[in-house]
Structure 1
């Protein structure tokens, strides 16, 4: 299912979709890391932004 860019907020805001280039790029920028590190973190802990933040901070 593709993202509906007209809908803002809600659960989708705290999930990272590594299959969408623009999302991956934006999350990498906001987390001050590279897209590859974001992918690594998502693979390790899942797509929840809070878990990804913790993973990147501890690594």
Structure 2
């Protein structure tokens, strides 16, 4: 689902949109992962940033 550029207001920082380049750059840097790892995590647990962060952390701890 793409961002609605006409919708103004506070952005939802708790969701990850892998279709937007700037979001991919931000989240891959924040979680220190590759774009492929981030995309895989979003596919596995959904776009909620907290869920993705937990998934990536749990996966790296193994």
Root mean square deviation, CA, Å:
1.8
* Distance in 2 separating the partners of 1:26 and 1:39: 13
| Deviation >3 Å, runs of 4+ | 3-9
Matches for 1:8-23 after TM superposition, within 5 Å: 8-9=10-11, 12-23=12-23
Deviation (angstroms), 1:57: 0.3
Q: Size of the alignment, in residue pairs?
A: 57
> Which sections of structure 1, spanning at least 5 residues, go unmatched?
none
Residue in 2 that maps onto 1:2: 3
Deviation string, structure 1 residues 22-51 (Cα, Å, up to 9, x no partner) = 101110001111111110000000000000
In 2: Cα distance, 1:26 partner to 1:6 partner? 20
Alignment partner of 1:49 is 2:55: no
- Give TM-score scaled by structure 1 length: 0.82
